[in-house]
């Protein structure tokens, strides 16, 4: 069995990851880390049968239980240091927390290779979302004029989302011609959203949403729209479990779940 520690265990995503790991016969939950829930039993937090107690020190938990994989769903402020702690211990890492810069990813790649392990940084663990991004890259070859609208719950830490930024990167890499220059003058700054990799991104943050994204492609006399909706956080679990089971086959930093499909 593959032993797993969940960091950020008290959060909504962390709880879903623990539940999914507990239900998977190939995985074993051996540790839970969360500063805000330290000292509480996992069984009390989630109403499941589990005798683990949430701890507040990731380094100590790794030393005590020596896991195969640490899954991180914490905060942008904590994720880089957490990843360094995991990789320096020679443990594989699966990261769903957004906020890592390109420079930090390069540093984590070097650290992982130095310690003979791998770290997956995935902006989105939904299999449907990954397929959406792959489709967008194909479409952008022929319809380079595109904009992204991403919608998330109002407690999401960042805007735009990591998924939207990765989608924009894939679109820009796939384009065979540059988009037309912007001719619209904003009467209110920011009216056309942010721009990443020469793609406009519009972020919505409202109660009721989970994770949603539309990609609009405009052509001569036609519009093509693709959309993905995660209706519950369980939609991310097949991807998380897939990563936990196959991360040990990789070395260095892997960016995006598509490398596991």
Active site residues: 152, 156
List the Cα angle 93/99/103 in 5-degree steps: 80
Closest CA to 165 of 119, 129, 189: 129
Closest CA to 218 of 232, 239, 199: 199
Distance CA(249)–CA(75), nearest Å, equals 27
Instruction: Give the tokens for residue 200.
Output: 């406009």
What would you report as the CA-atom Rg of the chain, rounded to the nearest whole angstrom?
19
DSSP letter for 178, please: P
CA torsion angle for 104, 106, 74, 199 (degrees, to 10)? 80
């Amino acid at each position: 069995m593959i032993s797993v520690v969940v960091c950020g265990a008290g959060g909504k995503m962390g709880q879903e990851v623990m539940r999914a790991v507990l239900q998977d016969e190939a995985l074993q939950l051996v540790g839970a880390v969360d500063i805000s829930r330290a000292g509480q039993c996992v069984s009390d937090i989630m109403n499941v049968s589990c005798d683990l107690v949430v701890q507040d020190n990731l380094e100590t938990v790794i030393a005590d239980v020596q896991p195969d994989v640490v899954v991180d769903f914490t905060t942008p402020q904590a994720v880089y240091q957490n990843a360094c702690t995991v990789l320096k211990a020679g443990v594989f890492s699966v990261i769903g927390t957004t906020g890592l810069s390109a420079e930090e990813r390069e540093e984590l790649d070097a650290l992982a290779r130095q310690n003979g392990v791998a770290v997956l940084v995935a902006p989105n663990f939904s299999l449907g979302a990954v397929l959406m991004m792959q489709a967008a890259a194909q479409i952008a070859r022929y319809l380079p004029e595109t904009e992204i609208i991403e919608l998330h719950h109002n407690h999401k830490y960042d805007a735009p989302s990591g998924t939207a930024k990765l989608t924009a990167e894939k679109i820009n890499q796939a384009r065979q011609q540059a988009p037309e220059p912007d001719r619209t003058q904003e009467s209110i700054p920011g009216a056309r959203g942010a721009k990443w990799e020469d793609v406009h991104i519009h972020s919505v943050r409202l109660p009721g949403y989970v994770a949603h994204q539309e990609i609009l492609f405009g052509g001569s006399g036609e519009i093509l729209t693709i959309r993905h909706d995660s209706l519950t956080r369980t939609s991310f679990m097949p991807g998380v479990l897939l990563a936990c089971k196959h991360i040990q086959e990789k070395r260095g930093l892997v960016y995006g779940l598509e490398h596991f499909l």
